[in-house]
Chain A
Amino acid sequence: MADSAMTQDTRKLTTSTVSTAPPMLEVSDLTTTLLVDGQPQLVVRGMNLSVGAGEIVGLVGESGSGKSITARSIIGLLPRGAEVTGSIRVAGVDRLTMSRRELQRLRAEKIAMIFQDPRAHIDPLWRIEDYIGEGLRVHLGMSNDAARARSRDLLTSLGIVDADRVLRAYPGQLSGGMLQRVMIAGALSCQPDLIIADEATTALDVTVQTDILAILDELRRTQQMSLLFITHDLALASVICDRIVVMYAGRAMLIQDSAGMFRAPAHPYAAALVAARPNPDRRVERLRTVAGRSVSALEAPGGCPFRPRCPYAEPPCAETDVPLQSVGPGVASACIRINDISDQLVESASRDD
């Protein structure tokens, strides 16, 4: 059947091409509903993505796209009343059927998460050495001295010069940039296989941001660590990611390699994001904008959710939900018009204005 052939194809696409072992992370048809004022609200709708061993995958979307809730669904950190369906497999094991204990183990040993706001995630009454060392002592059974030495090494590798002073400090005594490095050190402490970084460098200075990207990139190369890198900034994602998943209204609109997305974006929404980003090398007469604002899964209209803002939309776009479809090697797009408009998208991406 044509239908099942397409699903097969899509699955292959969303799966890593790097290794034959099961991917580090595989999410398929994920749907997440949150309870807002007692009403179930659809936030993620039929989301697909995968991250192979040693691969860095970007998850890019604007506010309300559902990227953070996707991350929290993966790691099991959702508010009470949330409902998750579909499948999330970590190293081949089904995450959704895990017991509470198994989930704790998974978070301790396999997955770590870095958030945007370290102050909200680090206990202000703990010294930094207690925060970073906790996992080392509890999960790896290290002595206090060994944990402290390892914590110091981690901080030094993250570019902190006076690691000893930082280890003795309380969170309130450190700057935001410093505290973010501390959270990253904590995430790295137990050498997880997969790190989920949710806007982890957004609040940092650009110089520090580049340093942190370099560190994450090195960890991937030297330790085969996998990374799901969540950001609103497509250019930032392109610096470090092998592939980028562009999310809109709770679903994946496009999966494409980073370079390809800038040269020949295979979805109008991605093309719009590429075009709207100001260029540091050139002042343009008028920045290209996307009409309207981004919508959440709940607000999205039927059919293609980007349709009301899309300059290429036509009546058929309103009729059916479009799943991701293979449109080239390693590229999957949820645009039914992509074959007709791909030349225009290439032209739009290369325009200089």
Chain B
Amino acid sequence: MTEVTTSQPGGAVDVDDDYEAVRVVGLSKTFKVRSRSSVQHVHAVRDVSFRVTRGSALGIAGESGSGKSTVARMMVGLEVPSDGEIWIGGARLPEPPSTSDRRTHARRIQMVFQDPYSSLDPRQPISAALDEVQRVHFQRSPRERRARTLQLLDAVGLGERYVEALPRALSGGQRQRLVIARSLAAEPAVLVLDEAVSALDVSTQAQILNLLRDLQAEYGLTYIFISHDLAVIRQICDDVLVLYRGELMEHAPAEQLLTRPRHPYTKLLLDSVPRQGMELEKRPERGTLNDAGCLFASRCPHAHDRCSAEPPEFSEPSGGRSRCWLAADAPSTSPLLDHRAAHHKGGPDDDR
């Protein structure tokens, strides 16, 4: 198979930042919500910054309403940021983007959604779906496009016999393979995967996760992997970023964040991953939401007075950052430090 190139599209790569695939600076998104009497501003994303090294995978985790999908949609240009900058492959996405800006951007970064069926035109055969992307982005003869279509199908493990099939002839896993192939047809450097394996059966999910790893190793792709499932994130991601109500809570290498979380919210997410033999305890009810201090304070078992009064700053002890007064005040004695020990022994939380 000839190589599917992931050459830097659109040029404009800063030589110094060659290793950097994604840079997001101070990204915010505010939605206006009109009720009968007033207009409210809802901060879907607030002041989020991060960088992603070329060829690595960043996981974005958080509950619904955490803003993780909004970050993804802004990155690919489906949503216009209220504030902040998005740089992909050394080029900044202009605001508002023109049609040609969008086209150039689409060659740098592509998105794969959760539900493959609704991302596909039910009347468009597979060959046409892959052909269309190539016609938009490349000057290729029909024969070149056809050859490329076959390469792409092979790369995602779909045989040649599916070339003229319609999406409904494919199983869920095969459809997701097709959607991945289509996103790769634009030869992007960055792939945003928004809950891309969440709707699949367990056995199929494992196949797609292995495929994503193979594609990354072969083409040096950079992934932004959005998922509510930390077990899946563990298998794909080098670094993880945890969002809560639109704000970044913790950002660290995956191994560290998933075994020694510094932020109580990360620990809550980890403790909620279903496992055989886990203890079910009824947690205290969520208090009223607080916007003055730490956004997580009302649900945090470790919260003290300062937490609901003053927003915590990032502390950055060895590798990673965490926005929590607890971690800032006593980084070395944080009771969260060894997640796994806490998990098996019942945890230091029990004596609260």
State the A residues within 8 Å of B (CB): 62-63, 156, 159, 161, 175-177, 205-211, 213-215, 217-218, 232-236, 238-240, 258-259, 262, 272-273, 276-284, 286-290, 293-294
Asked whether B280 lies within 8 Å of A282 as measured between CB atoms, the reply is no
Known: A211-B282, A211-B283, A281-B258. 9 other contacts (CB 8 A): A175-B64, A233-B274, A235-B276, A238-B274, A276-B203, A278-B206, A279-B231, A281-B234, A286-B210
**Chain B residue total in the interface (Cβ 8 A):** 47
* A177 & B64 in contact (Cβ 8 Å cutoff): yes
A215/B288 in contact, CB under 8 A: no
Give per-residue flags for B256-291: 1 if the beta carbon is below 8 A from chain A beta carbons, else 0: 001100000000111111111110111101111000
Chain B CB count within 10 A is highest, among A156, A206, A284, for A206
A205 pairs with B173, CB closer than 8 A: no
> Are A278 and B275 also in contact (CB < 8 A) when A159-B285, A290-B203 are?
no
**Distance A94 CA – B173 CA, assembled complex (angstroms):** 40
Which residues on the B side are within 8 Å of A259 (C-beta)?
Answer: 276-277
Q: Measured between C-beta atoms, what is the minimum distance from A186 to chain B in Å? A: 20
Given known A-B contacts A239-B274, A286-B210, A287-B210, A62 and B259 have beta carbons under 8 A apart: no
B contact set with A: CB distance below 8 Å? 63-65, 171-173, 201-207, 209-210, 213, 228-232, 234-235, 254-255, 258-259, 268-278, 280-283, 285-288, 340
Inter-chain contacts of A236 with B (CB < 8 A):
274
- A177-B64, A238-B276 given; A205·B203 CB < 8 A: no
A305 to B288: give the CA distance in the assembly, Å: 52
Q: Residue B228 contacts which of A159, A205, A214, A276 (CB distance < 8 angstroms)?
A: A205
Q: Complex Cα distance A176/B283, Å?
A: 20
Which residues in B have their C-beta under 8 angstroms from that of A282? 234
Which residues of the other chain, A, contact B207 by a CB distance below 8 angstroms?
289
Q: Which of B65, B206, B277, B286 contacts A276 (CB 8 A)?
A: B206
Q: Across the interface, do B209 and A214 meet the contact criterion of CB distance under 8 Å?
A: no
Bound CA–CA A287/B231 (angstroms): 12
16 A–B contacts from the bound complex (CB under 8 Å): A62-B202, A62-B203, A63-B201, A159-B283, A176-B64, A205-B64, A206-B63, A206-B269, A209-B272, A210-B272, A210-B274, A214-B281, A233-B202, A233-B274, A288-B206, A294-B203
Q: Is the CB of A283 within 8 A of B275?
A: no
Instruction: Identify the closest chain B residue to A269 (Cβ).
Output: B203
B210 touches A280 (CB 8 A): no
4 closest residue pairs by CB, A with B: A280-B231, A290-B203, A205-B63, A206-B272
Given A62-B202, A239-B274: A283 and B231 interface contact (C-beta under 8 Å): no
Contacts of B270 in A (CB 8 A): 280
B199 → chain A closest CB, angstroms: 9
Are B209's CB and A287's CB within 8 A?
Answer: yes
Bound CA span A209–B205, Å: 21
Asked whether B254 lies within 8 Å of A239 as measured between CB atoms, the reply is no
Among B204, B205, B228, B259, the residue within 8 A (CB) of A281 is: B259
Is A214 within 8 A of B201, CB to CB?
no
Contact, CB under 8 Å: B276 / A262: yes
B203 touching A235, Cβ below 8 Å: no
Contact, CB under 8 Å: B275 / A235: yes
**Which of B173, B273, B280, B286 is within 8 Å of A214, CB to CB?**
B280
In contact, B202 and A234 (Cβ under 8 angstroms)? yes
CB distance from A211 to the nearest CB of B (A): 6
Give min CB distance, A103 to chain B, whole Å: 33
B179 to chain A, nearest CB (A): 16
**Chain A residue with the shortest CB-CB distance to B277:** A259
B234-A283 in contact (CB<8A): yes
Asked whether, in the complex, the Cβ of B282 is within 8 Å of the Cβ of A232, the reply is no
Q: In the complex, which residues of chain A have a beta carbon less than 8 angstroms from the beta carbon of B202?
A: 62, 232-234, 273, 276-277
- Expressed in whole angstroms, the minimum distance between the Cβ of A206 and any Cβ of chain B is 4
Nearest B residue to A240 via CB reads B280
Give chain A residues whose Cβ lies under 8 Å from the Cβ of B172: 63, 293
A156 to B210, CA, bound (A): 43
Tell whether, in the assembled complex, residue A209 and residue B274 are in contact, meaning their CB atoms are under 8 Å apart: yes
Residues of B within 8 A of A238 (CB): 274-277
Task: Tell me how far the C-beta of B108 lies from the nearest C-beta in chain A, rounded to whole angstroms.
Answer: 28
A218, B282: Cβ atoms under 8 Å? yes
A114 to B249, CA, bound (A): 34
CA distance A279 to B234 in the complex (A): 8
User: In the complex, what's the smallest C-beta–C-beta distance from B296 to chain A, in angstroms?
Assistant: 11
Residues of B within 8 Å of A294, CB to CB, are 201, 203
A119 to chain B, nearest CB (A): 14
A282 CA to B288 CA in the complex, in Å? 36
B172 CB → nearest A CB, Å: 7
Given A236-B274, A258-B276, A262-B276: A278 and B232 within 8 A (CB)? yes
